[in-house]
Structure 1
């Protein structure tokens, strides 16, 4: 970090002088809590209460304003009402305070007027050289050096253990909850940040700074949304290089409250899928279970992403093991049986183990010599990349048998996880002290292993196809500001190098008999005002002759006139009737949270219903595109499933790459683009787009 960032970072986490603006002498008020919390947790610097009605608060001399404080102030914690905050910021500017945390609410979270006040406040603070944390922020915590600058009651009361975990939370109320849960599992914390409205300092910026913090080993994010995605992406990539995993728990798995985009792609790729794509692209581990946040770091400590993720499972309890293994199977984690070498080596020691995916030791596994021997063989074997040990009642009543061998095996370097079916606090404590990942529930255990199995090094962005993008820009410019219809869209896809079906346009005055000589054909309304043509009755398939075509055109015009009476109709598009082995939907859009994404899924009119999709941050290279093709389950029909004819999946992957290039459009001229369907032809014959939609951004 640069010198200015270093000054702000130290002002946040290692301030020598803290000014509490609006400090109260009433112990029942929240505004009295930061002063008590700082003292209780051993803050060694100077506390300066700011209150014009008091000369002293809780033993510290008070001042009427920041302007009267004789010391250099490193951090101003502002607790006055929203209307008084601008004046406090003006005083921070005059005194050269590097960072101000604003506890007050009533800003962007309160509506348009509050957002306007917040934007004006941030603009003035930046102009004056003051960085803002918040507003609507409960505070920050550092354990080394100690600085518990927060209104959170839990932070005041908890005995907070120093350790390697840093937390950034977009929920102020959850900061105390996260701390208490982590401390209950024996972990310690370096830094904790309530980010508030994220008006100035962002999750991405603070994550970036924590990468350089020697006290921090793992960065935990509690997210409600993603702001400043480019900075967070850059920080996460730096964190991997520094050996500091970034783990995210993000709300928004459901589609509640998310408005649909104009294309099917926007409806299909919701918040969860897009967030997953963002995390995957930048090496962030997403978890679904809150407990996992504090149990996963031990599994990742000192490790980096790997290419293989085979899991070997050993257990002394069949039922207990099933609670985890069943979940791993549903998450598509690869669970592998012991190798023949492992089976033979153990047999030489008089230990017989099953050859199935679960090495169930049953009652014999409660003997230390058996349990430890099997564990050592699995950890030493190269047929697996992680060993999961599951124990039953022995973990509770004989922790030395269940935990002891795990502590020793943890020194061998291979990722090692343990789940104890009963309540076994002593055994778990032994694992915690030895930095071995121990899990209290099957859900968090499976969640952690799934997150580990999906952890990848971020891939480099592919080079831009400048010729294709120039052709796209030319096609968009040729529209002269009007919205593209399907024929225009086909031209844009062709510019990207994606083949499209041949077609002609029948205008109002044209004769269908004079226009079309080859059948069968498809007829479709041509209008930028009718994006979903099938719903409007604007599509007729399988037209076999001129008479049928004339009737179809009349029917289409009548349907659209009834359902979209104000739509501007450019004609009827008559297209060669194409067929393929599979129909897919291929889309691109600019997500408001994470930026450009590309989406691949099963196409047709039921695309939104199936939601069988793969989503990636755009642009993608050919390997990532191939992984998308492999991810879509419905595309098994063109991957040789049960002897079915092979489709041209390589051409499909290349089409994904081409569509994703729209992310590099320097003018951001295209907001959304979709081909539905894109037909996959037999192997070696390519793909062909038979319907498409392009939505240009307002400035294009």
Structure 2
């Protein structure tokens, strides 16, 4: 609510000062004045430019400080070197918000960055909210506020709608706006955040989530400065049931560091954002078309109650295409009941009635055929959504108007069923579809993606948003520890927080190892511990299935020698560990400290399979046991855990408990860079889990007293 209140002056100002105003509507300082006057802004406008006494019929002021009235919003269109001083005047005047068109700040290098930091400092000290610098600006359609110099408004009147659009790129935003306008799609707000010296994408999402004129939020993102702030904005939108559609670029991670553990290689920046989007109900579009279509569909249509889709088509081939793609999108295309099929056959004996429902070209010769077909199918209650393929019917006025009437009648009767029409259209028919508030898309594959987005939000909103509960685990200190902990030290910490590990003891000498092996019971494993040797198997430091003292003596000496032959390797001891004999599935649990979103938890198929299959699911920590269960169910290899070809089902309940507890632990320790628990052995149902190996890496900057 704080952002909602603080951004009201930006989006709903009662008075606007244009600093650098121009009588020339082709100039940056002239366009916002022209747009405000042309579109009927009802508040006060104060042009400021010492070179003029009057601009566009309004008194022009030499300075902001010459104005007696209060100013909510200042639009600044000046050279960068003048902006800081003008912003100081805004703070002195008590201006509540500023839009800064000017470029020449952090985007050009160190000198510009320092100027921008000055602006940010003024914002924090005075409370003035800043959009920009280097921004295309914003507009609010309901309030007729146009604080932008974009040329997209010169020859086209914006359409009012219920989609709030925020973009980190002005050019991208203008392109999307124009494409949407060509398809008669309107917006409630358009915001380009520029350099984000103060107001960022998260602030805008939070504002739009509370805005009564916005039902859908579309956002284009290139980079994220504050991950937790963005998550909170996503959470608010989800609570308000306002779909957020994100187009996030920067998928490749060319600069990713070489990770010491498997976790780092699985947790690239794009994978992390995917996990965040899934966890907080954000639909991620892959193309500009999908971005627009998903936002459009969510703004026009109800969410489906289930996954059963009916397909009505004039083409058998396209019907098959739609059935394939709907199935791939996790929607189902079930056959109608026998009774429904018979009714359809009675109506048109040559029709295909199995779903896809092929009405054939008779659709264009029998006026009520489409409406009758849709009525029979949707009245059965067997379907949750519908796609109607009309090919190029929208290009012929007589056919188009008949189809629009039929679909409008059905949509009005079945208000809770989303219906998307697929047709090529003339401008007139496209406009008719929009006036009737009927969703129409020109390509069948795009219609499937739009329906997939609707189903995504429907499913997410049905699930109860669960917050992880902490169970009061004892504190753990990482003071005076090296940056990489050996398996022994890592597992001591895990044991302390209640995560089950193998029976094991650290032996400094052969005599100690023999005593420990007798206590644990043969067969045992020996593992050499050295902070400098992280991949123990590569150096021969892991010896398995040792069955007697003679073999133990031989392997112990070999491991100790291998450590001594490794340059600068310290000998911490040799771990004597039980050999797990229970039938188990090897899994992997990991943690990775993402620089933007913080601690992320991963779960996947473990052991040697992790590198081959990379079958892992990720979430932001902490998570609940329920969320842990959902993560396990998303794995491609989940059949191995649930029982496969006669094998026993595994202890998923205990694995979920361990994953949730582990996530709580990492969420309270920012000093942890990465953790790998690999493998964690998942035994038969009711027999628990056991961590067989572990590696903890700490942030170097968080360490103290390291020798």
Normalising to structure 2: TM-score of the pair? Answer: 0.87
Q: 2:645 & 2:316 partners in 1: Cα distance?
A: 34
Contact persistence 2:307–2:455 (CA under 8 A): yes
1:449 to 448, 451, 459: 451
- Paired residues in the alignment total 692
**2:217 corresponds to which residue?**
219
Q: 2:24 & 2:405 partners in 1: Cα distance?
A: 52
How far 1:106 moved relative to its partner?
Answer: 4.0
How does 1:596-635 map onto structure 2 within 5 Å?
596-635=599-638
How far 1:630 moved relative to its partner?
Answer: 1.5
CA shift digits 1:203-254 (9 cap, x unpaired):
2222222233333232211122344444444444444454532222222344
2:684 to 675, 682, 685: 682
Q: 2:114 & 2:574 partners in 1: Cα distance?
A: 48
CA 1:115 to 1:680, structure 2 compared with 1: closer, same or farther past 3 Å? Answer: farther
Normalising to structure 1: TM-score of the pair? Answer: 0.88
- CA-based RMSD of the aligned residues comes to 3.4
How far 1:637 moved relative to its partner?
Answer: 2.2
How does 1:416-455 map onto structure 2 within 5 Å?
416-420=418-422, 422=424, 427-455=429-457
Q: 1:671 & 1:491 partners in 2: Cα distance?
A: 18
Contact persistence 2:301–2:418 (CA under 8 A): no
CA 1:436 to 1:554, structure 2 compared with 1: closer, same or farther past 3 Å? Answer: farther
CA shift digits 1:409-467 (9 cap, x unpaired):
21212332335264565554433222232222234222222222222126444453333
More divergent stretch after superposition (54-63 vs 287-296): 54-63
Q: 2:184 & 2:234 partners in 1: Cα distance?
A: 26
Q: 2:105 & 2:535 partners in 1: Cα distance?
A: 40
CA 1:687 to 1:418, structure 2 compared with 1: closer, same or farther past 3 Å? Answer: same
How far 1:320 moved relative to its partner?
Answer: 2.0
CA shift digits 1:533-561 (9 cap, x unpaired):
44566444455555655555566566667
**2:186 corresponds to which residue?**
188
Q: 2:184 & 2:128 partners in 1: Cα distance?
A: 37
Q: 1:589 & 1:404 partners in 2: Cα distance?
A: 55
CA 1:539 to 1:31, structure 2 compared with 1: closer, same or farther past 3 Å? Answer: farther
Contact persistence 1:190–1:216 (CA under 8 A): yes
**1:381 corresponds to which residue?**
380
Q: 2:572 & 2:97 partners in 1: Cα distance?
A: 58
CA 1:27 to 1:210, structure 2 compared with 1: closer, same or farther past 3 Å? Answer: closer
SS in structure 2 of the partner of residue 586 of structure 1: strand
How far 1:5 moved relative to its partner?
Answer: 5.0
More divergent stretch after superposition (348-357 vs 172-181): 348-357
Q: 2:142 & 2:680 partners in 1: Cα distance?
A: 57
**1:526 corresponds to which residue?**
529
Q: 1:561 & 1:325 partners in 2: Cα distance?
A: 64
How far 1:664 moved relative to its partner?
Answer: 4.7
Q: 1:401 & 1:536 partners in 2: Cα distance?
A: 76
1:198 to 193, 196, 202: 196
1:342 to 325, 336, 340: 340
Q: 2:559 & 2:108 partners in 1: Cα distance?
A: 48
How does 1:153-552 map onto structure 2 within 5 Å?
153-259=151-257, 262-297=260-295, 299-301=297-299, 308-347=306-345, 349=347, 358-364=356-362, 367-397=366-396, 398-400=399-401, 402-411=403-412, 412-420=414-422, 422=424, 427-455=429-457, 456-457=460-461, 459-467=464-472, 469-470=473-474, 473-474=475-476, 476=477, 483-507=484-508, 512-513=513-514, 515-517=516-518, 518-534=521-537, 538-543=541-546, 546=549, 549=552, 552=555
More divergent stretch after superposition (185-194 vs 211-220): 211-220
How far 1:194 moved relative to its partner?
Answer: 0.7
Contact persistence 2:305–2:384 (CA under 8 A): no
Q: 1:20 & 1:370 partners in 2: Cα distance?
A: 58
How does 1:655-694 map onto structure 2 within 5 Å?
655-662=658-665, 664-665=667-668, 668-694=670-696
SS in structure 1 of the partner of residue 331 of structure 2: coil
SS in structure 1 of the partner of residue 485 of structure 2: coil
Contact persistence 1:526–1:572 (CA under 8 A): yes
SS in structure 1 of the partner of residue 164 of structure 2: strand
**2:575 corresponds to which residue?**
573
**1:118 corresponds to which residue?**
116
More divergent stretch after superposition (40-49 vs 149-158): 40-49
2:697 to 689, 695, 698: 695
CA 1:125 to 1:690, structure 2 compared with 1: closer, same or farther past 3 Å? Answer: same
**1:91 corresponds to which residue?**
89
Stretches of structure 1 that go unaligned for 5 or more consecutive residues are none
Q: 1:624 & 1:483 partners in 2: Cα distance?
A: 29
How far 1:631 moved relative to its partner?
Answer: 1.0
Contact persistence 1:289–1:444 (CA under 8 A): no
Q: 1:230 & 1:652 partners in 2: Cα distance?
A: 27
Q: 2:71 & 2:63 partners in 1: Cα distance?
A: 12
CA shift digits 1:68-120 (9 cap, x unpaired):
33432221222333333221221111100001122233444445665454344
How far 1:297 moved relative to its partner?
Answer: 4.2
How far 1:572 moved relative to its partner?
Answer: 3.1
**1:584 corresponds to which residue?**
587
1:648 to 651, 656, 668: 651
Q: 1:155 & 1:551 partners in 2: Cα distance?
A: 82
How far 1:582 moved relative to its partner?
Answer: 2.4
CA shift digits 1:112-151 (9 cap, x unpaired):
6654543443122221221111222211112222122112
SS in structure 1 of the partner of residue 288 of structure 2: coil
More divergent stretch after superposition (125-134 vs 261-270): 261-270
SS in structure 1 of the partner of residue 7 of structure 2: helix
